[in-house]
Amino acid sequence: MQRITCPLMLVLVLIIALPSVCQEHHSKWQVGTIMAVAPHPMDGQHHNVRRYDVSLKVGKAMYVVLYVPSDGLDTITHRAGLDVLVSVGQRTIAFNDLLGRKIEVPILSRKHITPILRSTLPGPRKTIFE
């Protein structure tokens, strides 16, 4: 009985541990806020395609990403102030559209922002990100 139990336990441990070892690292999903949307400067290659620079605040970082709407519509221009779930990678940010499709957009720039306490503001002390 002990001869069968030991190999069986080993197989069981391998089955449980294998998925965690084989998974590639993914960043966690977190809330990001669309702060601003601006048309991306036109170039010779993409003169008929609408492209937008979207400023996105995630935690203590401000990202500017290049968004190209798949449907060609400019609905992103009305999304400033909207919170969205995002996954920040090394070179891209991923989010899900309204239909649940995962979309990845390239990061054009990233900037660390630090909270500043301003005691000169009326009311209780407020934290402002710059």
pLDDT at 26: 53
Q: Would you give per-residue pLDDT tens digits along the chain (130 residues)?
A: 556 566 666 565 656 665 554 444 456 999 999 999 999 888 767 667 789 999 999 999 999 999 998 877 778 888 899 999 999 999 999 998 878 889 999 999 999 998 766 665 566 655 555 5
What residues have CB less than 8 Å from 55, skipping those under 6 apart? 34, 35, 36, 37, 38, 62, 63, 64
Q: What is the number of domains present in the chain?
A: 1
Containing H/E element for 80?
A: none
In a domain, 38, yes or no: yes
In a domain, 126, yes or no: no
In a domain, 113, yes or no: yes
Domain span including residue 44? 29-117
pLDDT at 25: 47
In a domain, 21, yes or no: no
pLDDT at 92: 97
In a domain, 109, yes or no: yes
Q: Nearest-CA neighbor of 63 among 16, 116, 117, 104?
A: 104
What residues have CB less than 8 Å from 54, skipping those under 6 apart? 34, 36, 37, 64, 65, 66, 67, 76, 105
Sign of the CA dihedral 106, 111, 114, 118?
Answer: negative
In a domain, 47, yes or no: yes
In a domain, 127, yes or no: no
